[in-house]
Amino acid sequence: MLTADLDIERARFNMIEQQIRPWEVLDPEVLDLLALVKREEFVPSAHRALAFADLELPIGQGQTMLAPKIDAKILQEVHIKNTDMVLEIGAGSGYMAALLAAKAEYVHTVEINPILADLAKRNLRQAGVVNVSVEIGDGANGWPGPSPYDVIVISGSLPQLPPAFLKQLKIGGRLSAFIGRAPVMHAQLVTRSSETAYTVVNLFETVISPLIAKQKLGFVF
């Protein structure tokens, strides 16, 4: 058992040093969180040996969890504060929600698939995360809830950013999204600077699994 534990910690260390740091994720608080929040606890048992690999992992229902370096980069760019109210769209296995919750005041994460929502709830509960609510619904066109939010993280790709998300962001708030279609998508950081002004920064190019949405929104994946 001790050897297995050491192997896991070595793999976690290698993930941080060989994948995360080279992607210019150098914020010590983010790096500490990646060591603190146990990624392997959010990976299905069939794929746990690959928990720290540089790839998306299947979590069931045809969905995946993001590669570790993508989660880390987004976490660094949105600059979570301990007073932030956060919205995440696409709960998946609950891993990103756990990372966000470790720094934020509270996280609302929305998952369209009830089976994955149950998975996220179970994983978060077993990890002892108490400041996250997992809600079942279609958040691909925004999620009013207790909006406006300080931070919005959209954990699947969209062909374009629905305007509703901009309205649900506080002034000074930050939003991360993966926008575009394969083979070229951009991770974007949107910051609301006033009632009518937003700044958009393209962080990096990538290809991310699409967000599931209902047909009425005009895009189905």
Q: Which two tokens stand for residue 211?
A: 């967000």
Q: How many residues make up the chain in this entry?
A: 221
pLDDT of residue 159: 96
Contacts with 177 (C-beta within 8 Å, 6 or more apart), sequence order: 152, 154, 158, 161, 165, 187, 188, 190
pLDDT of residue 69: 97
Phi-psi region of 190 (alpha: psi -120 to 50; beta: other; left: phi over 0): beta
Phi-psi region of 61 (alpha: psi -120 to 50; beta: other; left: phi over 0): left
Domains located in the chain, CATH noted: 2-217 (3.40.50.150)
pLDDT in tens, the chain (221 residues): 456 777 999 999 999 999 999 999 999 999 999 999 999 999 999 999 999 999 999 999 999 999 999 999 999 999 999 999 999 999 999 999 999 999 999 999 999 999 999 999 999 999 999 999 999 999 999 999 999 999 999 999 999 999 999 999 999 999 999 999 999 999 999 999 999 999 999 999 999 999 987 643 333 32
Cis peptide bond upstream of 210, omega within 30 = no
pLDDT of residue 220: 32
Q: Which two tokens stand for residue 183?
A: 């083979």
Contacts with 1 (C-beta within 8 Å, 6 or more apart), sequence order: none
pLDDT of residue 77: 98
Q: Are 154 and 129 in contact (CB under 8 A)?
A: no
Q: Is the alpha carbon torsion for 217, 74, 117, 156 positive or negative?
A: positive
With 0.85 as the threshold, say if the pTM is over it: yes
